[in-house]
């Protein structure tokens, strides 16, 4: 009785527990589009533990009997243990035991895509192949014999087109039926007889150690054969077992005269070629001139590539930060800071709320939220344009074109776009470093991006130029921008040769065919980033603005002050002002406005206006100290919104702290250098 009851419960649990699915495949094969089709907007975005690789999960929509949760694995070419993406995928597949692996294969690039399939097949989990881009294949006039492919691979294949929403329901049905039958694939016919017998020998040796789960024996054997260090370290082989395994491996190696990793990869590709030769009918020879090739004749042309690239970037820049973007920003700013704040303020007055409460809500909270919201239109615009470039395949070409220049400062071509965006706003620029594959490159790019003078610093420059250099405006601004770039290059060279030392990341990058981005994917892409920004920057920025509001509005006995020079902030200003004596602006008001500049760079101007209250800037600054002040403003720590983006993308407290300290130190030294050398020259010249 009891036993059957338990069995019933187990059965019930099995039915109600959601299916655990994973989506694996190469980059650029339509994986994200398929994920979006499967889940709709029910997605959760997070990070894989310990790495900056994005983890996306979602519920499969319209499931009948059971719920299913699907994890979108990073796009990878292979399960080798080198990039963070590969390691994350491997660990997930090995440790999380998914019920079914959905392997998305690009039908138009089938050979290389099936290479990952041959590796997934050895994990001993049920697999379903989603053969994507079937519509593109048809248009090309190529044909794939799906029945034959299924038979040869011994894996179910479903033809789909993720972007055209074809075959998705069929895929889901197939996945559920495979999950029900729970058959493990164990593809033994991938390798030649000779290699296969060696792998069987290794499997036997593994049985003696009794550590390998049964269904994963083949995977382990292959990894041991390849000399995969992670797998070797995982097993406690005795010396004799080790020798036994090595002996078998050496036999094959001697016969073939190539190394272990190559033997496996070579045989996998041979196996794939044998299958595709039978199952794929190509209407044109390999290497024929495609539509993408025709576009590339212009876009990556020796002479046209750079102009096309510069014009593209300029367009992105002008749309986002030019009149259109600025207009949207002003609208949002007006909406929240004038209209909304006015409404709330009137309401608070009408209910006769306390002064401090009015000030907290209107100046503190709405002021802070307003600063975030006014960023939104431009961030949305920039991300839409960047996603458009990324999804269409142009970004890979941009990296291809710029790679050589950026390699001179130890970066790869992909770092160019975030750096350029830094001239607009550091926040989206830092978030855009997500396209960088290599962690070191990413951190370095994040560190130097804030030196690209962001557009919010412009009002500060303009204020000082009108006061001190009215005739030399363009030269001063040009000089400041140039200085920012020089400091960025020097920083890159310095860090690349010290703390971020290491080999240049390999630049073996696919140039995917040009594709029309789907509006749905584009929107989800932008929305995801937007939500992220709102939540992250919103919380941090509102907190910081409230803090600065508090410091500015109260004195040490926690009473509200009438003018800012009696506030806690003024006291802090007086305290830190001496630090800037060497830089030439040891006045407390300068220090205070720099502190408020941490909330938003424009605040420097508004603080100065309030603090100087009619007094002229020249009562405190000389032209030289004005210049050194501008240098400091250019280089010092970016605003809180940017810092929160930096902390997110660095995903390391240590590196975030380093960024803050480094930028402060560079700003101080550069500023002091300008003032001291300037004073020296002026003295010499009398």
Partner 1 sequence: MKTLDDIKIGEQGTVVSIGSSGALRRRIIDMGITPGAVVIKQKAAPFGDPLEINVRGYELSIRRSEAKEIMLENICNAKR
> Which parts of this chain interact with partner 1 (CB under 8 A)?
77-78, 80, 82-83, 109, 111-112, 115, 258, 261-262, 265-266, 269-270, 285-289, 292, 296, 300-303, 305-306, 396, 399-401, 403-405, 506-513
Least distance to partner 1, CB of residue 641, Å: 35
Residue 399 or 420 having the CB closest to partner 1: 399
Least distance to partner 1, CB of residue 400, Å: 5
Residue 250 or 510 having the CB closest to partner 1: 510
Residue 324 or 507 having the CB closest to partner 1: 507
Residue 162 buriedness (CB in 10 A; 0-12 / 13-18 / 19+): buried
Least distance to partner 1, CB of residue 279, Å: 14
Residue 42 or 270 having the CB closest to partner 1: 270
Dihedral in degrees, nearest 10, Cα atoms 374, 375, 380, 382: 130
Question: Residue 29 phi/psi, 5° resolution?
Answer: -115, 10
Dihedral in degrees, nearest 10, Cα atoms 70, 75, 76, 77: 110
Residue 230 or 357 having the CB closest to partner 1: 230
Rg, Å, the chain Cα set: 30
Least distance to partner 1, CB of residue 286, Å: 5
Residue 213 or 307 having the CB closest to partner 1: 307
- 3-class SS of residue 41: coil
Helices 260-279 and 110-121: crossing angle in degrees, nearest 10, is 120
Residue 293 or 338 having the CB closest to partner 1: 293
Residue 77 or 451 having the CB closest to partner 1: 77
Site of tokens 């499967």:
38
CA distances from 49 to 22, 86, 230, 484, 630 (A): 17, 14, 18, 35, 41
Least distance to partner 1, CB of residue 232, Å: 16
Taking Cα atoms as reference points, which of 228, 250, 246 lies closest to residue 237?
246
Least distance to partner 1, CB of residue 153, Å: 17
Least distance to partner 1, CB of residue 268, Å: 9
- 3-class SS of residue 559: coil
Least distance to partner 1, CB of residue 502, Å: 11
Least distance to partner 1, CB of residue 144, Å: 13
Question: Measured between alpha carbons, how far is 268 from 635 in angstroms, rounded to an integer?
Answer: 52
Residue 287 or 323 having the CB closest to partner 1: 287
SS (HEC) of 328-374: HHHHHHHHHHHHHHHHHHHHHHHCCCCHHHHHHHHHHHHHHHHHHHH
Residue 86 or 528 having the CB closest to partner 1: 86
Residue 80 or 435 having the CB closest to partner 1: 80
Question: Measured between alpha carbons, how far is 309 from 300 in angstroms, rounded to an integer?
Answer: 9
598, β-bridge pairs: none
Least distance to partner 1, CB of residue 150, Å: 22
What is the CB neighbour count within 10 angstroms for residue 337? 18
Question: Measured between alpha carbons, how far is 468 from 463 in angstroms, rounded to an integer?
Answer: 9
Question: Measured between alpha carbons, how far is 509 from 635 in angstroms, rounded to an integer?
Answer: 34
Q: What strands lie across the sheet with 100-106, from one edge to the other? A: 43-47, 54-59, 68-72, 19-25, 100-106, 127-132, 157-159
Question: Measured between alpha carbons, how far is 116 from 250 in angstroms, rounded to an integer?
Answer: 26
Angle (CA) 258-262-268 rounded to 5° is: 125
Residue 78 or 671 having the CB closest to partner 1: 78
CA distances from 447 to 62, 487, 664 (A): 45, 11, 12
Least distance to partner 1, CB of residue 319, Å: 25
Question: Measured between alpha carbons, how far is 630 from 472 in angstroms, rounded to an integer?
Answer: 14
CA distances from 661 to 654, 655, 656, 664, 668 (A): 11, 10, 9, 5, 11
Least distance to partner 1, CB of residue 105, Å: 13
Least distance to partner 1, CB of residue 308, Å: 10
Least distance to partner 1, CB of residue 650, Å: 23
Residue 78 or 644 having the CB closest to partner 1: 78
Least distance to partner 1, CB of residue 494, Å: 24
Least distance to partner 1, CB of residue 202, Å: 20
Q: How far is residue 349 CA from its own chain's centroid?
A: 45
Which are the contacts of 382, defined by CB distance < 8 A and separation ≥ 6? 316, 320, 325, 421, 424, 425, 428
Residue 99 or 267 having the CB closest to partner 1: 267
Site of tokens 């000399």:
227
Q: What is the largest CA-CA distance in the chain?
A: 106
In 550-629, at which residue ranges do the beta strands (DSSP E only) sit?
A: none
Residue 129 or 401 having the CB closest to partner 1: 401
Least distance to partner 1, CB of residue 408, Å: 10
How does 344-366 read in b/e, with b if 16+ C-beta sit within 10 Å? ebeebeeeeeeeeebbbbbbbbb
Question: Measured between alpha carbons, how far is 44 from 535 in angstroms, rounded to an integer?
Answer: 14
46, β-bridge pairs: 55
Residue 332 or 399 having the CB closest to partner 1: 399
Question: Measured between alpha carbons, how far is 450 from 54 in angstroms, rounded to an integer?
Answer: 23
Taking Cα atoms as reference points, which of 420, 460, 463, 440 lies closest to residue 321?
420
Residue 507 or 669 having the CB closest to partner 1: 507
């Amino acid at each position: 009785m009891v036993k059957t009851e338990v069995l019933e419960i187990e059965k019930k649990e099995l039915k109600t527990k959601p299916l655990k699915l994973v989506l694996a495949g190469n980059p650029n094969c339509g994986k994200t589009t398929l994920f979006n089709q499967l889940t709709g907007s029910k997605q959760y975005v997070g990070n894989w533990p310990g790495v900056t690789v994005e983890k996306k999960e979602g519920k499969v929509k319209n499931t009948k009997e059971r719920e299913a949760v699907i994890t979108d694995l990073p796009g990878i070419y292979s399960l080798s243990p080198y990039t963070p993406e590969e390691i994350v995928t491997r660990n997930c597949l090995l440790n999380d035991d998914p019920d079914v692996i959905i392997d998305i294969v690009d039908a138009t690039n089938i050979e290389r895509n099936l290479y990952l399939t041959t590796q997934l097949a050895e994990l001993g989990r049920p697999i379903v192949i989603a053969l994507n881009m079937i519509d593109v294949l048809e248009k090309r006039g190529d044909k794939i014999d799906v029945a034959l492919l299924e038979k040869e691979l011994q894996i179910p294949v479903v033809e789909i087109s993720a972007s055209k929403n074809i075959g998705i329901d069929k895929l889901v049905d197939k996945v559920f039926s495979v999950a029900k039958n729970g058959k493990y694939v164990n593809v033994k016919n991938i390798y030649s007889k000779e290699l296969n017998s060696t792998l069987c020998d290794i499997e036997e040796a593994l049985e003696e150690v009794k550590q390998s789960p049964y269904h994963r024996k083949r995977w382990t054997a292959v990894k041991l054969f390849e000399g995969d260090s992670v797998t070797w370290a995982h097993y406690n082989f005795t010396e004799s077992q080790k020798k036994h395994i090595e002996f078998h491996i050496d036999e094959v190696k001697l016969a073939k005269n190539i190394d272990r990793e190559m033997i496996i990869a070579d045989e996998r590709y041979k196996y794939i070629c044998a299958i595709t030769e039978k199952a794929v009918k190509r209407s044109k020879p390999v290497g024929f001139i495609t539509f993408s090739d025709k576009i590339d004749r212009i876009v990556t042309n020796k002479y046209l590539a750079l102009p096309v690239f510069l014009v593209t970037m300029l367009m992105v820049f002008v749309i986002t930060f030019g009149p259109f973007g600025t207009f949207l920003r002003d609208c949002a700013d007006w909406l929240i800071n004038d209209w909304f704040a006015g409404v709330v303020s009137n309401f608070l007055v009408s209910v006769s709320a306390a002064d401090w409460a009015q000030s907290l809500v209107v100046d503190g909270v709405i002021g802070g939220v307003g600063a975030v919201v006014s960023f939104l239109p431009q961030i949305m615009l920039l991300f839409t344009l960047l996603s458009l470039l990324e999804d269409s395949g142009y970004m890979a070409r941009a990296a291809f074109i710029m790679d050589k220049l950026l390699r001179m400062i130890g970066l790869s071509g992909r770092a160019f776009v975030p750096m350029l965006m830094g001239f607009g706003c550091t926040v989206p620029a830092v978030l855009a470093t997500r396209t960088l594959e290599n962690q070191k490159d990413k951190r370095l790019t994040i560190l130097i991006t804030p030196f690209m003078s962001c557009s919010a610093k412009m009002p500060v420059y303009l204020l000082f130029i009108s006061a001190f250099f009215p005739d030399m405006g363009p030269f001063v601004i040009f000089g400041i921008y140039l200085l920012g770039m020089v400091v960025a290059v020097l920083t890159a060279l310095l860090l690349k040769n010290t703390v971020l030392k290491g080999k240049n990341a390999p630049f073996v990058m696919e140039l995917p065919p040009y594709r029309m981005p789907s509006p749905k994917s584009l929107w989800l892409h932008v929305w995801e980033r937007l939500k992220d920004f709102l939540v992250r920057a919103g919380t941090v920025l509102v907190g910081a603005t409230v803090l600065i509001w508090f410091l500015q509005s109260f004195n040490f006995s926690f009473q509200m002050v009438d003018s800012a020079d009696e506030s806690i902030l003024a006291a802090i200003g007086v305290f830190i002002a001496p630090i800037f004596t060497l830089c030439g602006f040891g006045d407390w008001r300068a220090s205070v406005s720099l502190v408020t500049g941490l909330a938003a760079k424009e605040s420097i101007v508004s603080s100065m206006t309030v603090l100087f209250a009619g007094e002229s800037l020249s009562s405190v600054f000389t032209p030289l100290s004005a210049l050194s002040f501008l240098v400091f403003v250019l280089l010092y720590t970016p605003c809180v919104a940017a810092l929160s983006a930096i902390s997110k993308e660095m995903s390391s407290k240590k590196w975030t702290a380093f960024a803050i300290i480094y930028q402060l130190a560079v700003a101080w030294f550069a500023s002091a250098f300008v003032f001291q050398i300037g004073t020296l020259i002026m003295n010499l010249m009398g």
